[in-house]
Every structure is written in C-alpha cells, then in structure tokens.
Chains A and B, each alone.
Chain A
C-alpha cells in the first residue's frame, strides 16, 4: 500500500523513526508527496505533531532522512527551511502587532526587507482575501482571519512546500470550510501542501491521503482509490478505531 518512489516529490520522508525515551512515536515512516493537496490523517496521538516537529527541524532524528525540494533537512537545513512554509497548530502571531507587521517580521527572518518584503506581504494577503485587514491588530481579528494571516505569512517567501498542522483547530464551521477551500485552491495552483488533520471532512476526493496511526503509516494513495465506495469517515474509523 506504500506508493512507489517519486523522485520529483517536493517533500520526501525515508525510514523516519523517532522515540520519546522508551515511547516510540514514529516507526519507519516512508512517503513522498506529489504537488497538490496531501492530507495527513490520523487520530489524536498518532504521531502527526511529532512528524511536523521533525519536518520543521524543531528537533531532529538520527533515524531516517527528510528531503525538502531536493535538500536534505539534516545536511542542508537552511536550504530546506527556505523552501518551506509552516502553519503551526498553535498560533504564532504577535497579538500586539498588526497583520502587516507580523508578516514583515517573518519576512525579515527570511532575509527579506524593504519594498520587496512589503510587496510580498501585500500579494500574500491579497491571495487570502486579507488585504483590507493589513493594518488591523491581530488581537482584534477573529480566529478565521488569524489563521488566514498565518497562511499568508507562510507563503510570503514563495516556498515550494506548505505544511499545516491541524490549522482548523478552534475555528467555527464556516471559517473551517473557508480555510480548507482556500488551501485546496492553493494546491490546485501547483503548490505542494501537507495538511495534518483528524477530521475526514476536510479532505476531498482527488486529494492524496496519508493515514498515520500509532506512529505507523497505514495508507498512502489517492483518496477515492483508497476508500472506493466507503465514505472516508467510515474508512478511516475502520482502520484506526478501536478493534471490536
């Protein structure tokens, strides 16, 4: 059930394992994701956040390799990180700064400044329909708009890969649907997106799907091919739910 090697993949993970002391969080995970929308589906505690922490190099593992846009994350971390946009599960916005100030701070962390940075911030905000909120303080924004700000920010440096760790947590249904659709649109434009979630209704039929359970990758493939005629939520539950 594991897909064949895709050498052109913007994000590739090989033989990745990780343990917290004696507790194994990821066991020999292998996947390569194609351009477009890939959903990383797994129940709570499946290892999604650990995988994200490894993908974003918050910590590293001696077992396995992660390649981003052709750069080995452990050997060329800075090249790899430069090609990656990340939206963390927990908000990382500065509440006392405006939307634009938040974006410019991030731009500077990527070596961008001046007109170039301002231009990119404008474009990224427009892409997420946030242009008119550029000068509002983040504290005054609702959850959905904060998330959009974070997605706009993650796109600022034109990354090849966009990683999102449960980005709809805490949003109401409308905002959740809107954000999900926005990111699908980005993926249709050719971006490589990895979207971690435990909610099967955020996934569309032509998406690529990875199912992670108890640190192991159970499935890797096209959603409609994998699930056949079974609704995705049932398919997911059968795989990961409590065994009868």
Chain B
C-alpha cells in the first residue's frame, strides 16, 4: 500500500476547492490588507512602539502588525478548512476519506498538509501585496519565514481538525468564530506587543502569553527578520502536538464522535 498518492490527491483537492471559491481567495487577501492599510494607519498615532527584538530600530505600526496579519491569514484558513471538514461530514465525502485503507492519522495529516500549503500561498500573496504598498521585510525574512509559516499552519490546522471533530453541525460554526478565532486573535501579540498589554493589565498579559497563537505570531515575526525564537518554537510544537492528539482522539472510530444517527 503506497501512502504518497493520497497526500498528493488530498492536497490537489484542497487546492482545486480553493481555486473554485474565488471569493474565498479575495477575502483572504483583502481582510489583512484592510487591517494593514486602514486600522494600522489609524493606530500608528495612538501607539508608540519601543525597540524590542527582533526590531533594531524604531518601527511603524504597519511594520509591527504584518506578522500578526500573516498569522490571521493562517488562523482564518485553518478554521475554514475545519469548516470544510464539518461540511464534508454532513455531505458524506468524509466517509469516503475514512473508509480508505490508510491509517487515519495519515489521512488527517494529509488533510492538514493540504490546508497548510494553501495558507502559505495566501500569506505570500499578502506579503507581496504589502510590499507593493511599500511595507517590506528584509529579503532573507521572506525565505526564513517559510518553515515558521509551515509550523504555524500545522498548529492552527490541527486546532481546526480537533474542533471539527467536536462540532456536530455546520450551524455551530458561528460559535467557533466568536469563541475561538476572535479571542485567539485579539488576545495575542498580533496587534499589540505583550509589554504594552502588561502596562494595562497583568492578567491580560498572562492570557496573551499563554495563547499559542501569540507564539505562532512571534515565531513568524522573528523569522521575518531572519531570527530564531526558541521559546515560540517550543510553544508552537507543544500546541501542535496537543491539538493533533485531540484531533486523533476526536476521529477515533471507537470513540465515534462522528457517530450520529445516519
């Protein structure tokens, strides 16, 4: 039994599905740009940023939020792919996947890899557009960020997979938006640096420091400057393992969370 054809086929299917949904691509691109060009422009006056690593000089707010917006693209995409899994389950195509004679963990890994690749392409499209508006990173950063994006994508995709196994119906997905995406995004270092958070509230700072999304963003931020953030990497790896284990547990046929009256 060969395993690789399934990986390519699942990735291809994810890619085709993405291409077929042109609105999804456009909104994936426009959403971070709106934040970058509108939100950041308004905030730059209000927020003073001091020099903290990886930055070596004063930076504008636009520069600060680019890594966070890369994370946002991946966060939305991770959740979108979990949405598609719930949809697949309701539409039955999930059954096809799960009756394949390949190990379930491999099938879920293929799915995860597929959605991560799509996320990465979107992030690069966003970085290119940002560069067109004059918001650029060091050249080495564009290469160094690739492995960071890969890890962040896997982490958020695994979270999506885990959630998808617990969400019973498509309608419940709005809840995921409110209780997962927004808190994860706002309670992170995506929009404000952690030290700034600490100034206003210690508790808020601690929540942000615990949020794995913060670490995904920091991993991306440092990588964009050709630097390596070991703590962030460790956090992201641990979170990926936890979310992955949850997803496997959720899709275990003996536990049968997909068990419902057929």
Residues of chain A at the chain B interface (Cβ within 8 Å): 20, 49-50, 52-53, 56-60, 62, 77-79, 81-82, 84, 86, 88-94, 96-97, 104-113, 117
Contact = CB atoms under 8 A, between A and B. Distances in A.
Contacts of B13: 94, 97, 105
B99 A57 contact: yes
Given A82-B1, A105-B13, A58 B101 contact: no
Given A58-B253, A58-B258, A81 B5 contact: no
A50 B262 contact: yes
Interface stretch (B60-68, B90-98, B114-122, B172-180): B90-98
A243 B93 CA distance: 39
A187 to B, nearest CB: 21
Contact of A81 (B9, B12, B99): B99
Q: Would you list the 6 A-B pairs with minimal beta carbon distance, nearest first? A: A108-B9, A59-B256, A109-B100, A113-B5, A108-B5, A82-B101
Given A111-B2, A112-B5, 6 more contacts: A56-B95, A92-B95, A94-B93, A96-B17, A108-B10, A111-B3
Nearest to A53: B262
21 contacts: A49-B262, A50-B262, A52-B262, A57-B99, A58-B95, A58-B256, A60-B253, A60-B256, A78-B103, A86-B95, A92-B91, A94-B93, A96-B20, A105-B9, A105-B12, A109-B5, A109-B9, A110-B101, A111-B101, A112-B5, A113-B2
Interface in B223-262: 253-254, 256, 258-259, 261-262
Contacts, number: 102
Residue from B2, B6, B8, B262 with most neighbouring chain A CB atoms (10 Å): B262
Contact of A109 (B102, B254, B259): B102
Contact of B258 (A59, A78, A90): A59
B51 interface: no
A147 to B, nearest CB: 13
Contacts of A56: 95, 99
B100 A110 contact: yes
B16 A97 contact: yes
A79 B103 CA distance: 11
A106 B3 CA distance: 13
Contact of B8 (A50, A82, A93, A108): A108
A20 B261 contact: yes
B234 to A, nearest CB: 34
A96 B17 CA distance: 8
Contacts of B101: 77-79, 81-82, 110-111
Contacts of B9: 104-105, 107-109, 113
A196 to B, nearest CB: 11
A155 to B, nearest CB: 14
Contacts of A77: 101
Contact of B253 (A49, A59, A84, A91): A59
A92 B92 contact: yes
Contacts of A90: 91-92
B86 to A, nearest CB: 15
Contacts of A88: 92, 95-96
B254 A59 contact: yes
A77 B3 CA distance: 16
Nearest to B1: A111
B262 A111 contact: no
A238 to B, nearest CB: 27
Nearest to B100: A109
A117 B8 CA distance: 14
A112 B101 CA distance: 12
Interface string B141-174: 0000000000000000000000000000000000
A49 to B, nearest CB: 4
Contacts of B4: 113
A66 to B, nearest CB: 12
Contacts of B96: 88, 92, 106, 109
B18 to A, nearest CB: 12
Nearest to B19: A96
Given A96-B20, A108-B6, A58 B1 contact: no
B99 A58 contact: yes
Contacts of A104: 9
Interface in B62-108: 91-93, 95-103, 107
Nearest to A59: B256
Contacts of B10: 108
Contacts of A78: 1, 101-103
A139 to B, nearest CB: 11
